[in-house]
Amino acid sequence: MEESIRKQLRELLQQEVVLATGCTEPGAVALCVAKACETLGREPEKIELLLSKNVFKNAMGVGIPGTGMIGLPIAVAIAVVAGDSSRQLEVLTVPQDKVEKAKQWLANNGSRINIGVKESGDKLYIECICKSGSDTAIAIICYKHTHFIHVSLNGKETEDCSAQPLNAASEVPESHDNFDLQLTARMVYDYATTSPIEELEFIRETVKYNDAAATEGLKGYGLKTGKILMENAAGDIVHTVVARTVAASDARMDGCTFPVYSNSGSGNQGIACTLPVYNYGKAKNCTDEQITRALVLNHLMSIYIKRGIGRLSALCGLVNASIGVTCGIVYLHGGCFEQMCYAIKNMINTLAGMVCDGAKPSCALKMSTGLYSAFVSAELAYHDCVVDATDGLSESDVDCSIRNLGRLGHDGMDLVDDTVLDILTHKQ
């Protein structure tokens, strides 16, 4: 593989695999509020949020780190009281005294916050309008969780947002996307398996953080999915690997303050792309190099698939992450590229219909479903068993199969998004 291509793929990984605290949608909303407040220069008298339905759906029911509360109001309060936009997706990580101050602010000023849904051409859209007296500050995030496209005070732009780099955005028009490589499964495989190992070792940093969240999660967060599965794993490697992984999701979605490495803007995807392959490789006595290459293969394959689906979709992000997992498992078993493609096709025909019905503690259940499917699909693959090209979304060419999944997630799920949001906002 050419050095220039390797460099671009490394940059892609480093842009999409980043540290984040809590669910990324509330984090991105808090980031936008913090920026608007900083631009206003004082505490706002009124805060209006206009969110795309995907952001709204993923932020309304998830735990906010360190607060014991769910939803956007407390995330907004933290941004007002202690927000610092330079912290990006760690903006919600604040000392406990600031959390208590934010709770008090919310109790006294909750009526200042108005949150609504805005029809947007992009599925990731956050607009914050802060007003105080005659002054109005506006901040808008679009395309990616940390990408501002507009910041203004009283109608005058205060930042040149066009100068911000926007690499590797999932559903951004080509004119905004500086990543110009046309990814393929072969390219991803070759990069992970043939690049100099010292160029790939940065991915090991994900293990330290994501495994710490798993250890914390095993204490019992959310539905206690990981804790209960671990207590009944009886030493089985697959059950143990799945239990430890979903425990990290239990913790993260229930408001644990531990940061995790995310993938494509999702902490759950980052957890799924890291812990199963790492812990399975350790259990199978694979070498450090094999595990490192499997981690890169897992993360980058998930990114490749997610680019076609879109950064936010009604298709659960654990679909692409779990497909990445099955690729890593096949590699750790000594499987070849063709067998990896078999596993991908098996997974596409298994998980294509798993819908995202909002970020919440029970996301750990979907993660377990994706991971168990990944092990089954991989086992079939390294026994050279693959779904027929005539089955479902699968085709003889693996990249065509991936594009079909992307089309389903990006274009075919719009009505599903509307229906899910309607259900979530009209529960009895």
- Residues with Cβ within 8 Å of 379's Cβ and at least 6 positions away in sequence, in order, are none
Amino acid 164: pLDDT = 55
Please report the DSSP string for 109-130 in residue order: HGGGEEEEE---SSSSEEEEEE
pLDDT tops 80 at residue 346: yes
Q: What are the φ/ψ torsions at residue 400 (nearest 5 degrees)?
A: -65, -40
Residue 176's pLDDT band (cuts 50, 70, 90)? very low
How many angstroms separate the CA atoms of 13 and 27, rounded? Answer: 21
Q: How confident is the model at residue 169 (pLDDT cuts 50, 70, 90)?
A: very low
With 50 as the cut, is the pLDDT of residue 39 above it?
A: yes
State how far the alpha carbon of 224 is from the alpha carbons of 219, 243, 304, 365, 428, in Å: 8, 10, 31, 10, 26
- Residue-by-residue DSSP string for 310-332: -SS-SB-THHHHHHHHHHHHHHH
**How far is the C-alpha of 87 from the C-alpha of 150, rounded, in Å?**
18
* pLDDT at residue 132, rounded to an integer: 97
According to DSSP, residue 34 is labeled: H
Provide the Cα torsion 261, 266, 272, 277; round to 10°: -50
The whole-number average pLDDT for the span 214-228 is 96
Whether residue 173 has pLDDT greater than 80: no
Q: What is the pLDDT of residue 179?
A: 67
Report the pLDDT value the prediction gives residue 300, as an integer from 0 to 100: 98
Q: Which residues pair with 135 in a beta bridge?
A: 132
291: pLDDT strictly greater than 70: yes
* Cβ-proximal residues to 263 (8 Å cutoff; 6+ apart), any chain: 16, 17, 269, 270, 272, 273, 299, 302, 303, 306, 321
d(CA 98, CA 243): 33
The span from the CA of 347 to the CA of 344, in Å, is: 5
pLDDT of residue 178: 55
pLDDT class of 119 with cuts at 50, 70, 90: confident
Q: With beta carbons less than 8 A apart as the criterion, state whether 231 and 220 touch.
A: no
pLDDT tens-digit map of 51-84 = 998 899 888 888 898 999 988 999 999 999 999 9
pLDDT reading at 348 higher than 50: yes
Query: Of 173-177, 293-297, 306-310, where does mean pLDDT reach its minimum?
Result: 173-177
Quick: pLDDT tens for 135-168: 999 999 998 899 999 999 999 999 988 755 544 3
Question: Longest C-alpha distance within the chain, in Å?
Answer: 69
pLDDT tens-digit map of 80-105: 999 999 999 889 989 999 999 999 99
Which of 55, 56, 52, 59 lies closest to 120 in space, CA to CA? Answer: 52
What span, in angstroms and rounded, lies between the C-alpha atoms of 428 and 424?
10
What is the Cα–Cα distance from 142 to 228, expressed in whole angstroms? 39
Does position 349 have pLDDT exceeding 70, yes or no? yes
Query: C-alpha distances in angstroms, 301 versus 92, 185, 211, 352?
Result: 29, 7, 21, 16
Sign of CA dihedral 417, 48, 61, 265: positive
Tell me the per-residue pLDDT of 239-253, one tens digit each, with 9 for 90 and over. Answer: 999 999 999 999 999
Whether 170 shows a pLDDT value over 80: the answer reads: no
pLDDT the model gives residue 172: 42
Residue type (1 letter), 325: V
CA distance linking residue 407 with residue 384, whole number of Å: 27
DSSP 343-398: HHHHHHHHHTT-B---S-TTHHHHHHHHHHHHHHHHHHHTTT----TTSTT--SSH
Q: How many CB atoms lie within 10 A of CB 315?
A: 26
Burial profile 145-165: b = 16 or more Cβ within 10 angstroms, e = fewer: bbbbbebbbeeeebeebeeee
Is the model's pLDDT at 175 over the cut of 60? Answer: no
- The angle formed by the CA atoms of residues 25, 311 and 212, to the nearest 5 degrees, is 55
